Amino acid sequence: MSRKATLIISLVLVAAIGFGGAPTLAAPPLMVAAQAGVPRFVDTNSCAFTVPPALVGSRYLVCGYVVVPELHRQPNGRTLRLAVQVYKRYTGPSPVSAEILLQGGPGGSSEVFAQLFSYRNVRTSFTTSHDVIVFDQRGTGHSQPSLDCPAASQTTLACAQALQSQGINLAAYNTAEDAADVNDIRIALGYAKLDVYGVSYGTLLAQVLMRDHPEAVRDVVLDSVVPLGTDADLGASSAFSNALTNLFSACAADATCSATYPDLHGVFSRLVASLNSRPIRINTTDPATGKTITQPVDGSTLVQILHEGMYYTSELGALPLLLYQVNDGNYTILSQILSANIGTNESVSDVVYYSVECSDMVRALTPDQISASMNGVLPEIASAEKSQVVDSQNVCRDWPGSNFNQPPLDPLYSDLPALVLGADFDPITPPIYSREVNANLSNSTYVELPADAHASALSDSCPFSLMVGFLSTATLPDTSCVANEQINFAYLTWS
């Protein structure tokens, strides 16, 4: 979704579902006939994504590329290669349907999914009855071409213009083409149907797949939903403000949290004002190089850090501690979050992000509309949020090859089986979005998570079990775990 926030898998989830041993491998390998033209699967001797140690050299992991048209309306034109990794079902014959995971961003690599599948119980939870497909969307991660901007001094817009001049058609990087790619993957790998999990931007992609290629879909789980036609720039600030207000209220309502972190909202408000008046400089680590770097942090940066921290259920409970540490001059957690955010941003293709956002998720706004979108937003975050909207508008206005300011996408109406997940602390795709989409799906079930954030199914064991169960059976599993959901606030001593 917006703000270039891709998905980071929380190891809390792995701990929650355990590390049990894998069952005996008994399935035959995936058989894909030699193909000509597009789409076609190209088997490779090596895997682009992380490979679980237990599957190194195994015939139960299939790696390669699916070749697709750059523009699907021109099947004989230029082609792209989508990196694909298939985890085979452990027991029994390969099924006629497969589960496929749609990453967010837009522009996020699915390498994080592959890393998650390194854990045996995660892998076997998915592959009990199905094959599972992990792939990088066009332009991202291991797919070719990968639309990266390697020059640190080069702006994203200048990089996009350079890629366009080299023959990359940025107008081909949009959700309709992505959805056609998903259908092509199904065809090239020989599956009749797909069980679809979409998270964040992946839910927008899933909806377009359901609209344009309903024959490809058996069922779908939409986690942290982006409705078709929603303007990302108009709704993001209110979503963050509401989630942050919910966090302050949850701490105030918890006896231990309120006693340990009294007046949390006031502390946050004073910190933002103080840091905007007198920024600090924080030493942190670049995870790619291991080198120590220094980053300035003002009030707007703290707002951004808090926003990004609220994406992850596992981090919600530590945010009061973070604010109190910073207030006390202890920057340990702040430094760790800055380091993690560097890694997150490096896993997102900014060029794909803006190509998709400017085409399908952002429309031209007047200054009055931007100002009106800040109505009701917490004053401590309004300035930082408004700056992000203005920056987004400026980039999209000049983005090469985009369909910026075209009419918004029409809402989806579908009778395909669906499980729709929303979370009360989601700072970018609030529950109202999930409820809005669910209202137009005639064969769906909506579940709201009272103590979860963004991408809840991949960061908490309860929604994870709902997601895996629904993808396996297309029927709603037991939802009783939802009643036991609560935020686990962190209570560490700081100095």
Greatest mean pLDDT range, 58-62, 78-82, 399-403: 78-82
pLDDT at position 4, please?
54
Q: Which amino acid is at 414?
A: S
Least-confidence region, from 61-75, 87-101, 215-229:
87-101
Mean pLDDT over each residue of the chain, to the nearest integer: 89
Can you give the pLDDT at residue 152? Answer: 59
Q: Is 73 left (phi over 0), alpha (psi -120 to 50) or beta?
A: alpha
Residue 64 Ramachandran class (φ > 0 left, ψ -120 to 50 alpha, else beta):
left
Q: Check pLDDT > 80 for residue 94.
A: no
Quote the crossing angle between the two packed helices 120-127 and 461-473, to the nearest 10°. Answer: 30
For the chain, give the percent of residues with pLDDT over 70. Answer: 90
Name which CATH class applies to 11-228+411-484: alpha beta
Verify cis geometry, omega within 30 degrees of 0, for the bond prior to 23: no
Q: Can you say whether residue 487 is alpha, beta or left, with left for phi > 0 and alpha for psi between -120 and 50 degrees?
A: beta
* pLDDT at residue 365 tops 70: yes
Residue 27: the pLDDT is 39
Q: What is the pLDDT of residue 35?
A: 56
Measured distance between the N- and C-terminal CA atoms of the chain, rounded to whole angstroms: 37
Tokens of residue 268, six digits? 């946050």
Token code pair at residue 283: 């030493």
- Percent of the chain having pLDDT more than 90? 74
- For the cut 80, the answer to whether the pLDDT of residue 494 exceeds it is no
